[in-house]
Structure 1
Amino acid sequence: MKPEKILTIGIDIDGTVTSPSSIVPMMNESFGRDLRYEDCYDYNLANVYQITEAEFEQWLDQNGERLYNEAPVHGIADQVLRKWYPAHKLIYISAREARHHDVTLNWFARYQIPYHEVDLLGSHDKLEAARKWGVDLFLEDRLENALQLSEALQIPVFLFDTPYNQARLPELVHRVSSWEEVDRKLKALTFGQALV
């Protein structure tokens, strides 16, 4: 058996560490809709809710703090991340704005989610941050990010399965359905085994 390799893991927050469905009840409440998470076929929720980009941006500006504070943990993400922390470097790279730093760290503390770095970019373009931190693997729910990161950096990306990221995936992007599966795949990766 090969020795375990220590990895620098880039981790998205929303829809990856937090439950991907957590935004839907709040959007329904605000826009008087009754959509289900399964109806969110597009990452761009302005399209799903048939509102303008500006309306969505304004909504997120007004409700981001509450959303980030109230979002539930995605499955057993907290347990898996606590298990990984001693062996791997955990770098959270998120499109959240820097002004949400405190609510983000308070949420991490509440759920005892460990981190080495939290990088809030205010943009969906995570490539430069992933390069800067030297990530070996990325965990993501946004298809465009997964494709860009895997191609540009030639690293594996674990893409959490959602209604809004369905597409054929290149070899380096691995669709995962749970944090249990992510944990199994990481184990295979660190021991140099094939990801199946």
Structure 2
Amino acid sequence: MKRLNICIDIDATLTEPYYWLDICNEYFNKNIKPYEITQYSIYKVMGVSREEYFDFYNKYKLKIHTEEKVRKDGKAIVNRISKYNNIFFVTAREKSLELFTEAYLTLNKVNFDGLYVLGSHHKVDKARELNCDIFIEDNPNNAIELSEASFKVLLMDTYYNREIKENEFIKRVYNWNQIYDFIEEMKFNQKVI
């Protein structure tokens, strides 16, 4: 019986979506609330230039990624589905964070079969290479690109991806328990284990 190849984004998918907001607000002297983050480009939400945001990110990226919390039930569900499926974390984080990211997953005791730190938001080629059956993602542009390449996407709900409509390839999910239920249903319908 076939194991599913499940690709999972990390930031705001495995982890809480607004983990960076307090640090960012303090740095830029803002008071942005999570519900105000209605677009993926953080620098636009903050009202700063792209360069100013990347200066901030480069200064605080290790702190941000160290302190981010795994979403409720994320670890438990990933570890549960990893018993019968292949788990591949596919992240757009810059390549210099690869060892750091692996250490974060290991420290948080999240099971996985592979980690791919792409340094790019374009994930279709890696999904093809991994023969991905389901891609769990939060980035609206990634969800569209993956769905246009005929990959099934579970779009983890955030304020900044609400304009994305469900279709044949994109299903909106609100928590990890829904993800688990979807995977179980998919396996049952495809008669895979």
TM-score by length of 1: 0.92
Q: CA RMSD in A?
A: 1.3
**Unmatched 5+ stretches in structure 2:** none
**Unmatched 5+ stretches in structure 1:** none
Instruction: Give, in whole Å, the separation in 2 of the partners of 1:109 and 1:27.
Output: 26
> Contact 1:5 / 1:191 at 8 angstroms: preserved in 2?
no
Does 1:68 pair with 2:65?
yes
Q: Give the 5 Å matches for 1:100-139.
A: 100-139=97-136
SS of alignment partner, residue 150 of structure 1: helix
Q: List 4+ stretches of structure 1 deviating above 3 A.
A: none
Instruction: Give, in whole Å, the separation in 2 of the partners of 1:83 and 1:138.
Output: 17
> Contact 1:97 / 1:122 at 8 angstroms: preserved in 2?
yes
Which residue of 2 is the match for residue 141 of structure 1? 138
SS of alignment partner, residue 191 of structure 1: helix
SS of alignment partner, residue 34 of structure 1: coil
Between the aligned residues of both structures, percent identity stands at 27
SS of alignment partner, residue 110 of structure 2: coil
Q: Compute the displacement of 1:5 (Å).
A: 4.4
**Segment drifting more, 9-18 vs 162-171:** 162-171
Q: Compute the displacement of 1:43 (Å).
A: 0.5
Per-residue CA deviations over 1:23-78 (Å, capped at 9, x if unaligned) read: 11111111111111111001001110001111112221221111111100011110
The total of aligned residue pairs comes to 189
Match of 2:162, as an amino acid?
Answer: Q
TM-score by length of 2: 0.94
Match of 2:50, as an amino acid?
Answer: E
